[in-house]
């Protein structure tokens, strides 16, 4: 029997409707209109698509959005100047620096310069530290979306063996930390795999929940999955056959119990949790 599809698109619409109601209530009570400022450097086609989608999502949720498009030859100092302006602007509640940045820009310096209260991607070391300590201000958008996908589909996490394939700062590391924390969405036994992991298939076959985020098309094959496991595919790879994930979907769905598709799985939830964080940032900054 094929796996049940975990539809991130439908769930994201439900959560966005919830967020829109909360935004409307905040504005009706005299609070601010939550506003996200996105910064795009250069003309990377994928980044332009992501940013446009974020703008549309903000509009539908009743939020404000401001786009700053900078040329590809922008310097680190020029980008830092813009970040400083956005930090000082009280009408801006969230700041998003679209990654990747051109090679001449010091990415770490730029991300570290964002005010932690406006860091809706949760990349600032202060916010990362709070996640590690179990008292997050914001949760990173993709891991948070995955956590919500599991929780809202009533998939048990506590006590489960969870394997995260990939150790990126954006997905792998924070995802592992969130799964191991106390509280809802946590209490799992977590394994993190990467390029130096010995006998990777033997490790992944132990997982009740398997999160794959390494950026290699169709990397995870059916023989790497325990029958009945929950498989979450974070990958988005552009191939001659269109968008595919890090999981060989057609083969793995015949082994897994539940699986996310690409597209339509984790991707929509990432933007949804960005809206969630922008609303939270507006509340923090306005005291509402």
Catalytic option among 7, 43, 44, 54: 54
pLDDT band at 61 (very low <50, low <70, confident <90, very high): very high
Can 103 be counted among the known catalytic residues?
no
pLDDT band at 73 (very low <50, low <70, confident <90, very high): very high
On whether the CB atoms of residues 155 and 146 are closer than 8 A, the answer is: no
Can 81 be counted among the known catalytic residues?
no
Lowest mean pLDDT among 57-61, 192-196, 238-242: 238-242
Determine the pLDDT at residue 41: 96
Lowest mean pLDDT among 42-46, 224-228, 246-250: 42-46
94: which residues sit within 8 A by CB, 6+ positions away?
34, 35, 36, 37, 118, 120, 274, 277, 278, 281, 282
Is pLDDT above 80 for 167? yes
- What are 240's two structure tokens? 């001659």
Determine the pLDDT at residue 287: 86
Determine the pLDDT at residue 78: 98
Query: Percentages helix, strand, coil for the chain, rounded to the nearest 5?
Result: 40, 15, 40
pLDDT tens-place string over residues 201-231: 999 999 999 999 999 999 999 999 999 999 9
Catalytic option among 119, 121, 246, 248: 121
- Long-range (24+ apart) CB contacts under 8 A made by 226-229 are 226/255, 227/255, 227/256, 227/257, 228/256, 228/257, 229/255, 229/256, 229/257
b/e string for 121-137 if b means 16 or more Cβ within 10 A?
A: bbbbeebbebbeeeebb
Q: Which domains does the chain have, with CATH numbers?
A: 32-117 (3.40.50.10860), 141-267 (3.40.50.720)
Can 48 be counted among the known catalytic residues?
no
pLDDT band at 273 (very low <50, low <70, confident <90, very high): very high
Catalytic option among 44, 60, 77, 98: 98
Determine the pLDDT at residue 158: 98
* Average confidence score pLDDT of the chain: 96
Determine the pLDDT at residue 250: 96
């Amino acid at each position: 029997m094929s796996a049940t599809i975990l539809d991130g698109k439908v769930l994201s619409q439900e959560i966005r409707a919830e967020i829109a109601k909360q935004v409307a209530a905040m504005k009706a009570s005299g609070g601010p209109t939550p506003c996200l400022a996105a910064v795009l450097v250069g003309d990377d086609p994928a980044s332009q698509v992501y940013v446009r989608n974020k703008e549309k999502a903000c509009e539908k949720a009743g939020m404000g959005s401001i786009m700053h498009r900078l040329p590809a030859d922008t310097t680190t100092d020029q980008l830092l100047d813009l970040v400083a302006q956005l930090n000082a602007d009280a009408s801006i509640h969230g700041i998003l620096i679209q990654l990747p940045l051109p090679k001449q820009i010091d990415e770490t310096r730029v991300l570290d310069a964002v005010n932690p209260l406006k860091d809706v991607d949760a990349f600032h070391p202060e916010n990362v530290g709070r996640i590690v300590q179990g008292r997050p201000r914001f949760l990173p958008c993709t891991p948070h979306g995955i956590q919500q996908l599991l929780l809202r589909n009533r998939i048990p996490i506590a006590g489960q063996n969870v394997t995260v394939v990939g150790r990126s700062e954006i997905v792998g590391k924070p995802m592992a930390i969130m799964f191991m924390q106390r509280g809802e969405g946590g209490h799992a036994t977590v394994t993190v795999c990467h390029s130096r992991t010995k006998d990777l298939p033997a490790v992944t076959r132990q997982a009740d929940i398997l999160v794959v985020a390494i950026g290699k098309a169709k990397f995870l094959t059916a023989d790497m999955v325990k029958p009945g496991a929950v498989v979450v595919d974070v990958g988005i790879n552009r191939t001659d056959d269109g968008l595919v994930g890090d999981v060989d979907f057609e083969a793995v769905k015949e082994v897994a119990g539940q699986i996310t598709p690409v597209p339509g799985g984790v991707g929509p939830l990432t933007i949804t949790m960005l809206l969630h964080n922008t609303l939270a940032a507006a509340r923090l900054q306005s005291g509402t």
